[in-house]
Chains A and B, each alone.
Chain A
Amino acid sequence: MTYAIRAENLGKQYGSTRALDGVSFTARPGQVLGVLGPNGAGKTTAVRVLATLTRPDRGSAHVGGHDVVRQARQVRKVIGLTGQYAAVDEIITGFDNLLVIGRLLGLSREEARRRATELLEQFGLTDAARRAAGTYSGGMRRKLDLAASLIGRPQVLFLDEPTTGLDPAARDGLWEVIRGLVADGTTVLLTTQYLEEADQLADHIVVFDHGRVIAEGSPYELKTKIGGQVLEVWPVDERDRETVATIISEIAQCPATVEDRRVTVPVVEPGVLRAVVLRLDLADVAVAELALRRPSLDEVFLTLTGHRAAAAARSS
Protein backbone atom coordinates (compact mmCIF):
# COMPACT_ATOMS: atom_id res chain seq x y z
CA MET A 1 0.00 0.00 0.00
CA THR A 2 1.69 3.15 -1.23
CA TYR A 3 -1.02 5.47 -0.02
CA ALA A 4 -3.03 5.33 3.17
CA ILE A 5 -5.52 7.75 1.64
CA ARG A 6 -6.07 8.36 -2.04
CA ALA A 7 -8.87 10.53 -3.41
CA GLU A 8 -9.27 10.90 -7.14
CA ASN A 9 -11.42 13.54 -8.73
CA LEU A 10 -14.10 13.34 -6.01
CA GLY A 11 -17.32 15.16 -6.74
CA LYS A 12 -20.42 15.62 -4.60
CA GLN A 13 -23.29 17.94 -5.30
CA TYR A 14 -26.11 19.02 -2.96
CA GLY A 15 -28.80 20.69 -5.02
CA SER A 16 -26.94 23.42 -6.82
CA THR A 17 -24.05 23.45 -4.32
CA ARG A 18 -20.90 21.72 -5.48
CA ALA A 19 -19.62 20.61 -2.08
CA LEU A 20 -16.79 18.73 -3.82
CA ASP A 21 -15.88 19.71 -7.34
CA GLY A 22 -13.25 17.21 -8.43
CA VAL A 23 -10.73 17.01 -5.61
CA SER A 24 -7.71 14.72 -5.63
CA PHE A 25 -5.13 14.22 -2.93
CA THR A 26 -3.09 11.49 -1.26
CA ALA A 27 -1.53 10.72 2.09
CA ARG A 28 1.24 8.22 2.72
CA PRO A 29 1.10 5.89 5.72
CA GLY A 30 2.12 7.68 8.89
CA GLN A 31 1.65 11.11 7.37
CA VAL A 32 -0.46 13.94 8.75
CA LEU A 33 -2.47 15.42 5.93
CA GLY A 34 -3.90 18.83 6.69
CA VAL A 35 -7.03 19.87 4.81
CA LEU A 36 -7.22 23.59 5.15
CA GLY A 37 -10.08 25.77 4.12
CA PRO A 38 -12.73 28.23 5.27
CA ASN A 39 -16.29 27.28 6.21
CA GLY A 40 -18.20 25.67 3.38
CA ALA A 41 -15.05 24.73 1.46
CA GLY A 42 -16.04 21.04 1.40
CA LYS A 43 -13.80 19.67 4.16
CA THR A 44 -16.54 17.82 6.05
CA THR A 45 -17.97 16.39 2.84
CA ALA A 46 -14.53 15.04 1.91
CA VAL A 47 -14.12 13.46 5.35
CA ARG A 48 -17.59 11.90 5.17
CA VAL A 49 -16.84 10.40 1.76
CA LEU A 50 -13.54 8.96 2.97
CA ALA A 51 -15.15 7.61 6.15
CA THR A 52 -17.83 5.81 4.05
CA LEU A 53 -20.69 7.97 5.38
CA THR A 54 -21.48 9.74 2.10
CA ARG A 55 -21.31 8.34 -1.41
CA PRO A 56 -19.48 10.51 -3.90
CA ASP A 57 -21.33 11.41 -7.13
CA ARG A 58 -18.15 10.91 -9.08
CA GLY A 59 -14.51 10.01 -8.64
CA SER A 60 -13.16 7.37 -6.34
CA ALA A 61 -11.35 7.09 -3.05
CA HIS A 62 -9.28 4.44 -1.34
CA VAL A 63 -8.48 4.27 2.36
CA GLY A 64 -5.98 1.66 3.56
CA GLY A 65 -6.04 0.31 0.01
CA HIS A 66 -9.82 -0.33 0.06
CA ASP A 67 -12.42 1.38 -2.09
CA VAL A 68 -14.70 3.52 0.11
CA VAL A 69 -17.81 2.65 -1.87
CA ARG A 70 -17.30 -0.99 -2.85
CA GLN A 71 -15.30 -2.11 0.20
CA ALA A 72 -16.87 0.07 2.86
CA ARG A 73 -16.70 -2.65 5.50
CA GLN A 74 -12.93 -3.12 5.04
CA VAL A 75 -12.45 0.64 5.18
CA ARG A 76 -14.46 0.79 8.41
CA LYS A 77 -12.15 -1.78 9.96
CA VAL A 78 -9.12 0.46 9.61
CA ILE A 79 -10.48 3.95 10.28
CA GLY A 80 -11.39 6.08 13.24
CA LEU A 81 -13.60 9.13 12.84
CA THR A 82 -14.00 12.21 14.99
CA GLY A 83 -16.63 14.28 13.27
CA GLN A 84 -17.01 18.03 13.37
CA TYR A 85 -19.59 17.77 16.16
CA ALA A 86 -19.02 15.41 19.06
CA ALA A 87 -21.09 12.27 18.47
CA VAL A 88 -21.75 11.06 21.98
CA ASP A 89 -24.80 9.52 23.59
CA GLU A 90 -25.54 12.24 26.13
CA ILE A 91 -27.74 10.14 28.37
CA ILE A 92 -25.35 7.31 29.18
CA THR A 93 -22.02 7.76 30.98
CA GLY A 94 -18.71 8.51 29.31
CA PHE A 95 -17.49 5.06 30.30
CA ASP A 96 -20.53 3.34 28.82
CA ASN A 97 -20.17 5.32 25.59
CA LEU A 98 -16.70 3.85 25.13
CA LEU A 99 -17.74 0.41 26.34
CA VAL A 100 -20.47 0.15 23.69
CA ILE A 101 -18.07 1.11 20.89
CA GLY A 102 -15.50 -1.41 22.16
CA ARG A 103 -18.09 -4.18 22.18
CA LEU A 104 -19.28 -3.22 18.68
CA LEU A 105 -15.68 -3.50 17.52
CA GLY A 106 -15.65 -7.08 18.74
CA LEU A 107 -13.65 -6.64 21.95
CA SER A 108 -14.52 -8.96 24.81
CA ARG A 109 -16.27 -7.43 27.82
CA GLU A 110 -12.98 -7.37 29.73
CA GLU A 111 -10.99 -5.89 26.87
CA ALA A 112 -13.65 -3.27 26.21
CA ARG A 113 -13.59 -2.23 29.87
CA ARG A 114 -9.83 -2.08 29.95
CA ARG A 115 -9.64 -0.02 26.76
CA ALA A 116 -12.34 2.39 27.98
CA THR A 117 -10.58 2.89 31.31
CA GLU A 118 -7.24 3.39 29.58
CA LEU A 119 -8.56 6.01 27.16
CA LEU A 120 -10.53 7.90 29.80
CA GLU A 121 -7.32 8.05 31.79
CA GLN A 122 -5.33 9.23 28.78
CA PHE A 123 -7.77 12.06 28.13
CA GLY A 124 -8.08 13.09 31.78
CA LEU A 125 -11.73 12.04 31.98
CA THR A 126 -11.38 9.45 34.73
CA ASP A 127 -13.17 11.60 37.30
CA ALA A 128 -16.09 12.15 34.94
CA ALA A 129 -16.22 8.55 33.69
CA ARG A 130 -19.37 7.65 35.64
CA ARG A 131 -21.29 10.80 34.78
CA ALA A 132 -23.80 11.13 31.94
CA ALA A 133 -21.95 12.54 28.92
CA GLY A 134 -24.63 15.24 28.68
CA THR A 135 -23.13 16.88 31.77
CA TYR A 136 -19.72 17.25 30.08
CA SER A 137 -18.31 20.56 28.86
CA GLY A 138 -17.76 21.01 25.12
CA GLY A 139 -14.07 20.22 25.44
CA MET A 140 -14.74 17.07 27.46
CA ARG A 141 -17.26 15.87 24.88
CA ARG A 142 -14.74 16.37 22.10
CA LYS A 143 -12.19 14.38 24.05
CA LEU A 144 -14.70 11.61 24.68
CA ASP A 145 -15.53 11.59 20.99
CA LEU A 146 -11.85 11.39 20.07
CA ALA A 147 -11.38 8.59 22.61
CA ALA A 148 -14.28 6.71 21.00
CA SER A 149 -12.60 6.95 17.61
CA LEU A 150 -9.35 5.52 19.04
CA ILE A 151 -10.79 2.39 20.67
CA GLY A 152 -10.11 0.21 17.65
CA ARG A 153 -6.54 1.53 17.29
CA PRO A 154 -7.25 2.78 13.76
CA GLN A 155 -4.57 2.88 11.07
CA VAL A 156 -6.17 5.95 9.55
CA LEU A 157 -7.76 8.63 11.70
CA PHE A 158 -10.04 11.39 10.43
CA LEU A 159 -10.28 14.49 12.59
CA ASP A 160 -12.77 17.07 11.35
CA GLU A 161 -11.90 20.42 12.93
CA PRO A 162 -10.86 18.76 16.18
CA THR A 163 -9.88 21.93 17.99
CA THR A 164 -12.61 24.32 16.85
CA GLY A 165 -14.20 25.78 19.94
CA LEU A 166 -11.54 24.56 22.36
CA ASP A 167 -9.66 26.89 24.68
CA PRO A 168 -5.91 27.23 24.02
CA ALA A 169 -4.92 24.84 26.82
CA ALA A 170 -7.30 22.13 25.59
CA ARG A 171 -6.10 22.74 22.05
CA ASP A 172 -2.46 22.29 23.02
CA GLY A 173 -3.40 19.09 24.85
CA LEU A 174 -5.12 17.75 21.76
CA TRP A 175 -2.15 18.64 19.57
CA GLU A 176 0.04 16.59 21.90
CA VAL A 177 -2.34 13.63 21.60
CA ILE A 178 -2.28 13.89 17.80
CA ARG A 179 1.53 14.05 17.77
CA GLY A 180 1.60 10.95 19.99
CA LEU A 181 -0.64 9.04 17.58
CA VAL A 182 1.50 10.03 14.66
CA ALA A 183 4.59 8.84 16.50
CA ASP A 184 2.84 5.45 16.79
CA GLY A 185 2.44 5.32 13.01
CA THR A 186 -1.20 6.39 12.60
CA THR A 187 -2.07 8.22 9.41
CA VAL A 188 -4.08 11.33 10.24
CA LEU A 189 -6.28 13.46 8.05
CA LEU A 190 -7.00 16.65 9.89
CA THR A 191 -9.25 19.42 8.68
CA THR A 192 -8.87 22.89 10.02
CA GLN A 193 -9.71 26.51 9.44
CA TYR A 194 -6.59 27.53 11.33
CA LEU A 195 -3.46 28.00 9.35
CA GLU A 196 -1.38 27.77 12.47
CA GLU A 197 -2.81 24.36 13.23
CA ALA A 198 -2.01 22.98 9.78
CA ASP A 199 1.46 24.49 10.03
CA GLN A 200 2.01 22.93 13.47
CA LEU A 201 0.77 19.42 12.72
CA ALA A 202 0.67 18.63 9.03
CA ASP A 203 3.42 17.16 6.86
CA HIS A 204 1.40 17.93 3.78
CA ILE A 205 -1.36 20.47 3.29
CA VAL A 206 -4.12 20.64 0.71
CA VAL A 207 -5.97 23.93 0.55
CA PHE A 208 -9.70 23.67 -0.24
CA ASP A 209 -11.87 26.46 -1.51
CA HIS A 210 -15.37 26.02 -2.94
CA GLY A 211 -14.97 22.26 -3.32
CA ARG A 212 -11.66 22.44 -5.14
CA VAL A 213 -8.04 21.97 -4.20
CA ILE A 214 -6.48 25.33 -4.94
CA ALA A 215 -2.99 24.55 -3.69
CA GLU A 216 -1.00 21.85 -2.00
CA GLY A 217 2.41 21.02 -0.66
CA SER A 218 4.35 20.93 2.55
CA PRO A 219 3.89 24.01 4.75
CA TYR A 220 7.32 25.11 3.55
CA GLU A 221 6.44 24.58 -0.11
CA LEU A 222 3.19 26.45 0.25
CA LYS A 223 4.96 29.39 1.74
CA THR A 224 7.50 29.29 -1.07
CA LYS A 225 4.82 28.81 -3.70
CA ILE A 226 3.69 32.36 -3.70
CA GLY A 227 7.24 33.26 -4.54
CA GLY A 228 8.71 36.31 -2.86
CA GLN A 229 8.97 37.27 0.72
CA VAL A 230 7.49 39.79 3.07
CA LEU A 231 9.22 42.89 4.27
CA GLU A 232 8.20 43.93 7.74
CA VAL A 233 9.06 47.28 9.31
CA TRP A 234 8.31 48.47 12.83
CA PRO A 235 9.00 52.19 13.27
CA VAL A 236 9.97 53.37 16.77
CA ASP A 237 7.43 56.15 16.59
CA GLU A 238 3.96 55.09 15.65
CA ARG A 239 3.38 58.38 13.82
CA ASP A 240 5.95 57.32 11.23
CA ARG A 241 3.78 54.48 10.00
CA GLU A 242 2.40 56.37 7.05
CA THR A 243 5.81 57.58 5.95
CA VAL A 244 7.13 54.04 6.14
CA ALA A 245 4.17 52.75 4.17
CA THR A 246 4.67 55.31 1.43
CA ILE A 247 8.37 54.58 1.14
CA ILE A 248 8.18 50.80 1.05
CA SER A 249 5.15 50.78 -1.27
CA GLU A 250 7.11 52.88 -3.70
CA ILE A 251 10.18 50.66 -3.58
CA ALA A 252 8.29 47.33 -3.73
CA GLN A 253 5.79 48.75 -6.21
CA CYS A 254 2.98 47.16 -4.25
CA PRO A 255 0.57 48.63 -1.64
CA ALA A 256 1.75 48.15 1.94
CA THR A 257 -0.43 46.91 4.79
CA VAL A 258 -0.47 48.76 8.11
CA GLU A 259 -1.39 46.72 11.14
CA ASP A 260 -0.87 48.21 14.61
CA ARG A 261 2.71 49.48 14.53
CA ARG A 262 3.77 47.03 11.85
CA VAL A 263 4.00 47.86 8.15
CA THR A 264 4.34 45.00 5.67
CA VAL A 265 4.70 44.64 1.94
CA PRO A 266 5.34 41.65 -0.30
CA VAL A 267 8.62 41.82 -2.15
CA VAL A 268 10.01 39.84 -5.02
CA GLU A 269 13.53 41.28 -5.16
CA PRO A 270 15.58 40.74 -1.98
CA GLY A 271 17.80 43.59 -3.17
CA VAL A 272 15.19 46.15 -2.10
CA LEU A 273 16.41 45.89 1.48
CA ARG A 274 19.34 48.23 0.85
CA ALA A 275 17.13 50.83 -0.83
CA VAL A 276 14.63 50.67 2.02
CA VAL A 277 17.26 51.21 4.69
CA LEU A 278 18.68 54.11 2.72
CA ARG A 279 15.35 55.83 2.11
CA LEU A 280 14.18 55.40 5.72
CA ASP A 281 17.45 56.89 6.93
CA LEU A 282 17.04 59.86 4.59
CA ALA A 283 13.49 60.38 5.83
CA ASP A 284 14.79 60.34 9.40
CA VAL A 285 12.60 57.43 10.48
CA ALA A 286 13.97 55.48 13.43
CA VAL A 287 13.29 51.77 12.92
CA ALA A 288 12.82 49.37 15.86
CA GLU A 289 12.76 46.26 13.73
CA LEU A 290 13.16 45.46 10.08
CA ALA A 291 12.88 41.96 8.70
CA LEU A 292 12.59 40.04 5.49
CA ARG A 293 10.68 36.79 6.10
CA ARG A 294 8.59 34.07 4.46
CA PRO A 295 4.89 34.86 4.39
CA SER A 296 2.62 33.24 6.99
CA LEU A 297 0.07 30.71 5.81
CA ASP A 298 -2.56 33.33 6.40
CA GLU A 299 -0.94 35.53 3.80
CA VAL A 300 -0.56 32.52 1.52
CA PHE A 301 -4.27 31.88 1.74
CA LEU A 302 -5.03 35.50 1.00
CA THR A 303 -2.88 35.35 -2.09
CA LEU A 304 -4.33 32.02 -3.25
CA THR A 305 -8.01 32.73 -2.75
CA GLY A 306 -8.31 36.47 -2.79
CA HIS A 307 -10.09 36.34 0.56
CA ARG A 308 -8.88 35.91 4.08
CA ALA A 309 -9.32 32.45 5.55
CA ALA A 310 -9.35 33.53 9.16
CA ALA A 311 -11.88 36.29 8.53
CA ALA A 312 -14.24 33.88 6.80
CA ALA A 313 -13.89 31.48 9.68
CA ARG A 314 -14.61 34.05 12.36
CA SER A 315 -17.54 35.72 10.68
CA SER A 316 -19.55 32.49 10.56
Chain B
Amino acid sequence: MTTVPVAGARETLTLTRRSLLHLKTNPEEIIELVVQPIVIVLLFTFVFGGAIKGDWRDYLQFALPGMLVQATLFATMRLGTALGTDFKKGVYDRFRSLPIARFSPLTGAILGEMVRYLLSIVVLLIVGALLGFRIQTGAVETVAAVVVLLCFGFAMSWGSALLGLTVRAAESASEFAFLIILPLAFTGNLFVPTDTMPGWLQVWVNVNPVTSVADTMRGLLLGGEVARPLMWSAVWIAALTAVFAPLAIRRFRQKSG
Protein backbone atom coordinates (compact mmCIF):
# COMPACT_ATOMS: atom_id res chain seq x y z
CA MET B 1 0.00 0.00 0.00
CA THR B 2 2.92 2.35 0.65
CA THR B 3 3.81 2.22 -3.01
CA VAL B 4 0.54 3.84 -4.08
CA PRO B 5 1.52 7.49 -3.49
CA VAL B 6 4.85 6.88 -5.23
CA ALA B 7 3.11 5.28 -8.19
CA GLY B 8 0.67 8.21 -8.22
CA ALA B 9 3.62 10.58 -8.49
CA ARG B 10 5.11 8.59 -11.33
CA GLU B 11 1.80 8.56 -13.19
CA THR B 12 1.49 12.29 -12.68
CA LEU B 13 4.94 12.83 -14.18
CA THR B 14 4.10 10.61 -17.15
CA LEU B 15 0.99 12.67 -17.75
CA THR B 16 2.97 15.89 -17.36
CA ARG B 17 5.28 14.60 -20.03
CA ARG B 18 2.30 13.77 -22.22
CA SER B 19 1.05 17.33 -21.80
CA LEU B 20 4.45 18.65 -22.83
CA LEU B 21 4.57 16.37 -25.88
CA HIS B 22 1.92 18.70 -27.30
CA LEU B 23 4.60 21.37 -27.55
CA LYS B 24 6.58 19.10 -29.85
CA THR B 25 3.85 18.60 -32.43
CA ASN B 26 1.71 21.71 -32.05
CA PRO B 27 3.37 24.87 -33.35
CA GLU B 28 0.32 26.93 -32.34
CA GLU B 29 1.33 26.47 -28.74
CA ILE B 30 4.78 27.90 -29.30
CA ILE B 31 3.10 30.90 -30.89
CA GLU B 32 0.85 31.36 -27.87
CA LEU B 33 3.54 30.82 -25.26
CA VAL B 34 6.55 32.46 -26.86
CA VAL B 35 5.75 34.58 -29.91
CA GLN B 36 2.67 36.30 -28.49
CA PRO B 37 4.38 37.62 -25.32
CA ILE B 38 7.31 38.83 -27.42
CA VAL B 39 4.98 40.65 -29.80
CA ILE B 40 3.30 42.33 -26.83
CA VAL B 41 6.63 43.46 -25.39
CA LEU B 42 7.72 44.92 -28.72
CA LEU B 43 4.36 46.51 -29.44
CA PHE B 44 3.87 48.16 -26.07
CA THR B 45 7.48 49.20 -25.65
CA PHE B 46 7.95 50.81 -29.03
CA VAL B 47 4.41 51.98 -29.86
CA PHE B 48 3.01 53.13 -26.50
CA GLY B 49 6.17 53.25 -24.41
CA GLY B 50 7.28 56.74 -25.38
CA ALA B 51 3.79 58.16 -25.00
CA ILE B 52 3.27 56.66 -21.57
CA LYS B 53 6.67 57.20 -20.00
CA GLY B 54 8.40 59.71 -22.26
CA ASP B 55 11.10 57.24 -23.22
CA TRP B 56 10.69 53.62 -24.34
CA ARG B 57 13.62 52.50 -22.19
CA ASP B 58 11.97 53.83 -19.02
CA TYR B 59 8.71 52.27 -20.12
CA LEU B 60 10.29 48.83 -20.63
CA GLN B 61 11.79 49.02 -17.15
CA PHE B 62 8.34 49.87 -15.75
CA ALA B 63 6.22 47.52 -17.87
CA LEU B 64 8.19 44.29 -18.22
CA PRO B 65 7.25 43.07 -14.71
CA GLY B 66 3.61 43.67 -15.69
CA MET B 67 4.09 41.84 -18.97
CA LEU B 68 5.34 38.81 -17.06
CA VAL B 69 2.02 38.79 -15.20
CA GLN B 70 0.09 39.26 -18.43
CA ALA B 71 1.93 36.40 -20.19
CA THR B 72 1.28 34.05 -17.26
CA LEU B 73 -2.35 35.08 -17.06
CA PHE B 74 -2.94 34.50 -20.77
CA ALA B 75 -1.16 31.15 -20.65
CA THR B 76 -3.65 29.90 -18.04
CA MET B 77 -6.40 29.90 -20.68
CA ARG B 78 -5.08 26.75 -22.32
CA LEU B 79 -5.75 24.28 -19.50
CA GLY B 80 -9.54 24.47 -19.72
CA THR B 81 -9.55 23.77 -23.44
CA ALA B 82 -7.07 20.93 -23.03
CA LEU B 83 -9.12 19.23 -20.29
CA GLY B 84 -12.38 19.74 -22.17
CA THR B 85 -10.91 18.23 -25.33
CA ASP B 86 -9.57 15.20 -23.43
CA PHE B 87 -13.00 14.51 -22.00
CA LYS B 88 -14.72 15.02 -25.32
CA LYS B 89 -12.33 12.79 -27.25
CA GLY B 90 -12.63 10.00 -24.69
CA VAL B 91 -8.96 10.26 -23.71
CA TYR B 92 -9.99 10.48 -20.05
CA ASP B 93 -12.09 7.33 -20.41
CA ARG B 94 -8.97 5.58 -21.61
CA PHE B 95 -6.98 6.88 -18.63
CA ARG B 96 -9.75 5.87 -16.26
CA SER B 97 -9.79 2.33 -17.60
CA LEU B 98 -6.14 2.02 -16.47
CA PRO B 99 -5.07 1.12 -12.94
CA ILE B 100 -3.74 4.59 -12.12
CA ALA B 101 -4.39 7.13 -9.37
CA ARG B 102 -7.68 8.83 -10.07
CA PHE B 103 -6.47 12.42 -10.02
CA SER B 104 -3.18 11.92 -11.81
CA PRO B 105 -4.63 13.05 -15.17
CA LEU B 106 -5.62 16.35 -13.52
CA THR B 107 -2.41 16.86 -11.55
CA GLY B 108 -0.34 15.86 -14.58
CA ALA B 109 -2.17 18.38 -16.74
CA ILE B 110 -1.67 21.17 -14.21
CA LEU B 111 2.04 20.42 -13.80
CA GLY B 112 2.36 20.53 -17.58
CA GLU B 113 0.84 24.01 -17.53
CA MET B 114 3.29 25.15 -14.86
CA VAL B 115 6.17 24.17 -17.11
CA ARG B 116 4.59 26.22 -19.89
CA TYR B 117 4.26 29.28 -17.64
CA LEU B 118 7.91 28.91 -16.70
CA LEU B 119 8.87 28.73 -20.37
CA SER B 120 6.90 31.86 -21.13
CA ILE B 121 8.41 33.74 -18.16
CA VAL B 122 11.99 32.79 -19.01
CA VAL B 123 11.54 33.79 -22.66
CA LEU B 124 10.17 37.18 -21.60
CA LEU B 125 13.02 37.78 -19.16
CA ILE B 126 15.56 37.00 -21.89
CA VAL B 127 13.85 39.16 -24.50
CA GLY B 128 13.51 41.92 -21.92
CA ALA B 129 17.21 41.69 -21.08
CA LEU B 130 18.13 41.87 -24.77
CA LEU B 131 16.05 45.04 -25.15
CA GLY B 132 17.65 46.62 -22.09
CA PHE B 133 15.52 45.57 -19.12
CA ARG B 134 17.78 45.41 -16.07
CA ILE B 135 16.92 43.54 -12.87
CA GLN B 136 17.90 45.85 -9.99
CA THR B 137 17.91 43.18 -7.32
CA GLY B 138 19.60 39.81 -6.91
CA ALA B 139 19.13 36.18 -7.87
CA VAL B 140 17.08 35.35 -4.78
CA GLU B 141 14.55 38.09 -5.54
CA THR B 142 14.39 37.01 -9.19
CA VAL B 143 13.69 33.41 -8.25
CA ALA B 144 11.12 34.60 -5.71
CA ALA B 145 9.41 36.63 -8.45
CA VAL B 146 9.22 33.58 -10.72
CA VAL B 147 7.79 31.50 -7.86
CA VAL B 148 5.09 34.10 -7.17
CA LEU B 149 4.17 34.13 -10.87
CA LEU B 150 3.94 30.34 -10.93
CA CYS B 151 1.75 30.36 -7.83
CA PHE B 152 -0.50 32.95 -9.44
CA GLY B 153 -0.65 30.84 -12.62
CA PHE B 154 -1.46 27.80 -10.48
CA ALA B 155 -4.37 29.58 -8.81
CA MET B 156 -5.75 30.89 -12.09
CA SER B 157 -5.36 27.53 -13.83
CA TRP B 158 -7.97 26.05 -11.45
CA GLY B 159 -10.40 28.64 -12.76
CA SER B 160 -9.48 27.69 -16.29
CA ALA B 161 -9.92 23.99 -15.44
CA LEU B 162 -13.35 24.68 -13.95
CA LEU B 163 -14.39 26.53 -17.10
CA GLY B 164 -13.10 23.81 -19.41
CA LEU B 165 -14.90 21.10 -17.42
CA THR B 166 -18.13 23.09 -17.33
CA VAL B 167 -18.76 24.53 -20.81
CA ARG B 168 -20.27 22.20 -23.33
CA ALA B 169 -17.90 22.77 -26.24
CA ALA B 170 -14.24 22.52 -25.32
CA GLU B 171 -13.22 25.14 -27.88
CA SER B 172 -15.45 27.81 -26.39
CA ALA B 173 -13.65 27.49 -23.04
CA SER B 174 -10.82 29.67 -24.26
CA GLU B 175 -13.25 32.25 -25.65
CA PHE B 176 -14.98 32.52 -22.27
CA ALA B 177 -11.61 32.67 -20.54
CA PHE B 178 -10.51 35.43 -22.88
CA LEU B 179 -13.59 37.50 -22.00
CA ILE B 180 -12.65 37.27 -18.32
CA ILE B 181 -8.89 37.54 -18.59
CA LEU B 182 -8.59 40.40 -21.08
CA PRO B 183 -10.42 43.00 -18.92
CA LEU B 184 -8.66 41.64 -15.85
CA ALA B 185 -5.25 42.18 -17.46
CA PHE B 186 -6.03 45.66 -18.75
CA THR B 187 -7.71 47.03 -15.64
CA GLY B 188 -4.58 46.48 -13.60
CA ASN B 189 -1.39 48.48 -13.59
CA LEU B 190 0.43 46.05 -15.86
CA PHE B 191 0.97 48.45 -18.74
CA VAL B 192 0.21 51.90 -17.34
CA PRO B 193 0.76 53.53 -13.92
CA THR B 194 -2.41 53.73 -11.83
CA ASP B 195 -2.12 57.48 -11.08
CA THR B 196 -3.08 58.52 -14.63
CA MET B 197 -6.51 56.84 -14.33
CA PRO B 198 -9.77 58.39 -13.06
CA GLY B 199 -10.42 57.91 -9.33
CA TRP B 200 -13.28 55.40 -9.66
CA LEU B 201 -11.14 53.19 -11.86
CA GLN B 202 -8.20 53.45 -9.44
CA VAL B 203 -10.41 51.92 -6.76
CA TRP B 204 -10.88 48.78 -8.88
CA VAL B 205 -7.31 48.72 -10.17
CA ASN B 206 -6.00 48.66 -6.61
CA VAL B 207 -8.24 45.72 -5.73
CA ASN B 208 -7.51 43.77 -8.91
CA PRO B 209 -5.31 40.76 -7.99
CA VAL B 210 -3.33 41.35 -11.16
CA THR B 211 -2.16 44.70 -9.72
CA SER B 212 -0.95 43.09 -6.50
CA VAL B 213 1.04 40.52 -8.44
CA ALA B 214 2.49 43.18 -10.76
CA ASP B 215 3.49 45.34 -7.77
CA THR B 216 5.14 42.29 -6.23
CA MET B 217 7.08 41.78 -9.47
CA ARG B 218 8.23 45.39 -9.46
CA GLY B 219 9.24 45.19 -5.82
CA LEU B 220 11.16 41.96 -6.33
CA LEU B 221 12.81 42.84 -9.66
CA LEU B 222 13.32 46.60 -9.41
CA GLY B 223 13.54 47.11 -5.64
CA GLY B 224 10.98 48.95 -3.57
CA GLU B 225 8.09 47.81 -1.46
CA VAL B 226 7.63 44.01 -1.40
CA ALA B 227 5.88 43.09 1.86
CA ARG B 228 2.48 44.67 1.24
CA PRO B 229 1.92 43.61 -2.41
CA LEU B 230 3.37 40.17 -1.64
CA MET B 231 0.92 39.77 1.21
CA TRP B 232 -2.01 40.77 -1.01
CA SER B 233 -0.78 38.48 -3.77
CA ALA B 234 -0.60 35.61 -1.30
CA VAL B 235 -4.13 36.37 -0.11
CA TRP B 236 -5.44 36.43 -3.68
CA ILE B 237 -3.59 33.27 -4.69
CA ALA B 238 -4.91 31.45 -1.62
CA ALA B 239 -8.45 32.77 -2.16
CA LEU B 240 -8.59 31.92 -5.88
CA THR B 241 -7.23 28.45 -5.22
CA ALA B 242 -9.60 27.91 -2.29
CA VAL B 243 -12.58 28.80 -4.47
CA PHE B 244 -11.68 27.30 -7.84
CA ALA B 245 -9.75 24.15 -6.91
CA PRO B 246 -12.56 22.42 -4.97
CA LEU B 247 -15.10 23.37 -7.64
CA ALA B 248 -12.84 22.12 -10.44
CA ILE B 249 -12.07 18.91 -8.56
CA ARG B 250 -15.78 18.38 -7.96
CA ARG B 251 -16.53 18.83 -11.67
CA PHE B 252 -13.68 16.47 -12.52
CA ARG B 253 -15.09 13.90 -10.12
CA GLN B 254 -18.59 14.27 -11.54
CA LYS B 255 -17.43 14.04 -15.13
CA SER B 256 -15.27 11.03 -14.48
CA GLY B 257 -18.30 9.24 -12.94
A residues adjacent to B (C-beta < 8 A):
51-55, 73-74, 76-77, 79-81, 83, 85-93, 96, 100-101, 103-106, 132, 148-149, 152
Question: Can you list 28 residue pairs at the A/B interface with Cβ under 8 Å?
Answer: A51-B97, A53-B97, A53-B257, A55-B257, A73-B99, A76-B97, A76-B99, A79-B97, A80-B97, A81-B94, A87-B89, A88-B89, A88-B91, A89-B18, A89-B89, A91-B21, A91-B25, A92-B25, A96-B18, A96-B21, A100-B14, A104-B15, A104-B95, A104-B98, A105-B98, A105-B99, A106-B7, A152-B98
Interface contacts (Cβ under 8 Å), in number, total: 75
- Chain B contact patch, size range: 20 to 34
Whether A103 lies near B257 (C-beta < 8 A) is: no
Contacts of B89 on A, CB cut-off 8 Å? 85, 87-90
In the complex formed, the residue of B with least CB distance to A81 is: B97
Q: Kindly state the separation between the CA atoms of A106 and B15 in the bound complex, as whole angstroms.
A: 13
Whether A104 lies near B11 (C-beta < 8 A) is: yes
- Decide if B96 is an interface residue (CB 8 Å cutoff): yes
Contact of B25 among A53, A85, A93 (CB under 8 A): A93
Contact of B94 among A73, A90, A96, A101 (CB under 8 A): A101
Q: Kindly state the separation between the CA atoms of A76 and B93 in the bound complex, as whole angstroms.
A: 12
Contacts of A74 on B, CB cut-off 8 Å? 99
Contacts of B100 on A, CB cut-off 8 Å? 104
Whether B18 lies near A92 (C-beta < 8 A) is: yes
In the complex formed, the residue of A with least CB distance to B7 is: A106
B residues adjacent to A (C-beta < 8 A):
7, 11, 14-15, 17-18, 21-22, 24-26, 86, 89-91, 93-100, 257
Contacts of B90 on A, CB cut-off 8 Å? 83, 85-87
Whether A77 lies near B99 (C-beta < 8 A) is: yes
Q: Kindly state the separation between the CA atoms of A93 and B21 in the bound complex, as whole angstroms.
A: 9
Known: A52-B96, A76-B97. 20 other contacts (CB 8 A): A52-B97, A55-B257, A76-B98, A83-B90, A85-B90, A87-B93, A87-B94, A88-B89, A88-B91, A89-B91, A90-B89, A91-B22, A92-B21, A96-B21, A100-B17, A100-B18, A103-B14, A104-B98, A106-B7, A132-B25
In the complex formed, the residue of B with least CB distance to A151 is: B98
